[in-house]
Every structure is written in C-alpha cells, then in structure tokens.
C-alpha cells in the first residue's frame, strides 16, 4: 500500500490521480475529511482506505508491514496563518512523528516543504543543506516548514530513503477549495468570467513595476511526476527544490489566462493587502540543479502550456484531475 497524507488537498489528490494512472490502486488516504468541498478531489479515485489524521499513527502501528511508501503532503498551508501553536502541531510535531515512524518501520518518506522557507530570497534559492540554518522565512508557515527541514537533516536516524520537496508556486486542477490561497490563475479565471477583467496586486517595491513581480510557477502535473520519480528510483535522499527553474511575471500569467479563454486582456491593479504586504515575495526562482543531478530529466511544462491545459480542460468544464 501507498500512504498519502493531506490526500483530499490540492497536490496530494493530484498525486493520487497520478498513482491511479500508473496502476497503483492500493492507496490509503489520510486527512481530516470534514471539508465536503475537498472530498470532491477524491471522487472516483481507486482507494483502499480513508484514515483520519488523528488516528493515523495507531493505524500505522497495526498495518506498517503492508505499507510500501509514504507521501506526507498534509500540512496547514495558509501563509497568512498567525497561530504558531497550530502550525507547530500540524506542520512540525506531526511531521516529526511521521519521520520517527518511518525510521521505526523502515519506510521510505517523501514530505512537503515549501519555497516559503527562502523568505525574501536574499540568500538565493539553492537547496544546499548548508544554507538551511541561515534562511529567514517571512511568515510563520514558512518558519514551520524550515524548522522541520533543519530538524530532519540533523537527525542521526533517518528513513532509508527520504526527500523533502520545496514546492514553489504550484498551480493546476483540484485547488477549487483553497479560497484566498488558490493560485492566481484560478483567481484570474473567476474574475475574467465574472467581469471580463483581472486585478493584480500593485508593486510596493521600487525594483519591480506593477505586475512584474516574478515567481517560479510550476504545474501540479509536473510536481506529481517528480513524486513518482522519487518513489520509483529511490536514488538519493535529501531536500530538493521543486519549481521549473524559470521565474515568470504575474503579467505573463494573467495574459496567458486571457488567451486560454480567448478573451481580450483587461488588467487593473490594487494595493497589496496590508496583512501580507510586509511578507510578500517579489521574486522566486528554483535552483533545480540538485534534482537534475540525481537523474530527473523530464522537461517542465511552459507556463503558457500549463495554463492552457488547466483553463480549457479543467476550469472551463469544472473538472477534476
């Protein structure tokens, strides 16, 4: 069996779909299953068992001999979350328990980290372990992810195979439930459909013009392909960036969304909300040399192609992956 935590969420449910497509059908999904909107992400997928996240470690004690691999993608992912106790419980302590269980039962582990660990990017975007203690995330969510990365690399006992994936700006199907934290593409689609226009955040950084803020946008289908590669090759443990290696502007993203809808672009700007203004990342770009160095050779989807697929094949028909 393959275990996927956070399974009703965005990236994890896409991974379940990818596993099913590769004929992995003995999948145990772990989550808090009370959000009915999120449950739609798992509809129609071939699954073995649903396990509540609070009961998972008891379940694992009983079933570990049947488990082949664990993808720990469950986390509190709201970058505006200020409850550090909650983040500590869900993102740090739960992940420590997962790590220790994988050591105890000799299970391979892939877990979700985040590009939020890089903060303002003053140290660049290298996933070299020596930089981990020096990183200064801009919000409690990023701190919780960086705290676990630092803890993991310092452990004398490790799973025989483990990988932490620093997700950059992931977009794609199955994020309907994410609200404010959904990708700008989903927000753009909804705004364009409703009003024919799109409003982006104005730049409050003199080094960037309005709309020229840049992020490394990576399609969720590429993300799950990397997860599959790590499961199937099991070559090298470590922390890896997972972006495309190419930063693109929010204007690029928005213009591509208009194009996918065959609409004429109409773009406006508004001030970045004050509650996120001081922690806003103006540039991210993954250094992908480490993942490439262990043999991952597949090209990443161009932003225009990913948006076209996402908009036309999922957002317009309201479909799931």
Task: Judge whether 166 counts as a catalytic residue.
Answer: no
HEC profile of 227-282: HHHHHHHCCCCEEEEECCCCCEEHHHHHHHHHHHCCCCCCEEEECCCHHHHCCCCC
Confidence of residue 114 (pLDDT cuts 50, 70, 90): very high
For residue 239, report the phi and psi dihedrals to the nearest 5 degrees.
-100, 130
pLDDT computed for residue 85 by the predictor: 78
114 annotated to bind ligand: no
250 contacts 272 by C-beta, under 8 angstroms: no
Task: Spot the catalytic one: 111, 118, 125, 141.
Answer: 141
164 annotated to bind ligand: no
Residue pLDDT, tens place only, 39-70: 999 999 999 999 999 999 999 999 999 999 99
76 contacts 141 by C-beta, under 8 angstroms: yes
84 annotated to bind ligand: no
169 annotated to bind ligand: yes
170 annotated to bind ligand: yes
74 annotated to bind ligand: yes
Ordered domains of the chain (ranges, CATH) = 2-172+219-245+285-300 (3.40.50.720)
In this predicted structure, the answer to whether residue 235 has a pLDDT above a threshold of 90 is no
Confidence of residue 316 (pLDDT cuts 50, 70, 90): very high
In this predicted structure, the answer to whether residue 271 has a pLDDT above a threshold of 90 is yes
pLDDT computed for residue 87 by the predictor: 79
Task: Spot the catalytic one: 45, 50, 178, 320.
Answer: 178
Q: What is the pTM of this model?
A: 0.94
Residue pLDDT, tens place only, 143-183: 999 999 999 999 999 999 999 999 999 999 999 999 888 99
31 annotated to bind ligand: yes
Task: Judge whether 141 counts as a catalytic residue.
Answer: yes
Closest CA to 165 of 122, 116, 119: 116
Residue pLDDT, tens place only, 123-133: 999 999 999 99
Per-residue pLDDT averaged across 185-197, rounded? 96
76 annotated to bind ligand: yes
Where on the phi/psi map is residue 318: left (φ > 0), alpha (ψ -120 to 50), or beta?
left
């Amino acid at each position: 069996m393959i275990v996927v935590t956070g399974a009703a969420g965005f990236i994890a449910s896409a991974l379940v779909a990818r596993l099913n497509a590769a004929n992995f059908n003995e999948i145990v999904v772990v989550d808090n299953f009370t959000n009915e909107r999120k449950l739609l992400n798992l509809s129609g997928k071939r699954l073995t068992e649903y396990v509540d996240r609070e009961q998972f470690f008891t379940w694992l004690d009983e079933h570990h001999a049947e488990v082949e691999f664990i993808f720990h993608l469950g986390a509190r992912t709201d970058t505006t979350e200020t409850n550090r106790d909650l983040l500590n419980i869900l993102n740090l302590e739960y992940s420590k328990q997962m790590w220790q269980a994988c050591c105890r039962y000799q299970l391979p582990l892939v877990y979700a980290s985040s590009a939020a660990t890089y903060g303002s990017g003053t140290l660049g975007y290298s996933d070299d372990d020596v930089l981990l203690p020096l990183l200064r995330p801009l919000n409690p969510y990023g701190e919780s992810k960086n705290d676990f990365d630092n803890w993991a690399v310092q452990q004398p006992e490790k799973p025989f195979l483990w990988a932490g994936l620093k997700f950059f700006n992931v977009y794609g199907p199955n994020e309907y439930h994410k609200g404010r934290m959904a990708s700008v593409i989903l927000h753009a689609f909804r705004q364009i459909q409703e009003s024919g226009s799109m409003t982006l955040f104005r730049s409050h950084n003199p080094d960037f013009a309005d709309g020229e803020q840049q992020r490394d946008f990576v399609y969720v289908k590429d993300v799950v392909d990397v997860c599959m590669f790590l499961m199937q090759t099991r070559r090298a443990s470590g922390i890896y960036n997972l972006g495309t290696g190419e930063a693109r502007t929010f204007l690029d993203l928005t213009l591509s969304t208009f194009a996918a809808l065959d609409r004429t672009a109409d773009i406006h700007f508004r001030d970045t909300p004050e509650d996120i203004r001081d922690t806003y990342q103006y540039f991210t770009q993954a250094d992908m040399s480490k993942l490439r160095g262990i043999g991952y050779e597949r090209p990443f989807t161009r932003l225009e192609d990913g948006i076209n697929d996402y908009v036309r094949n999922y957002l317009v028909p309201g479909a799931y992956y």
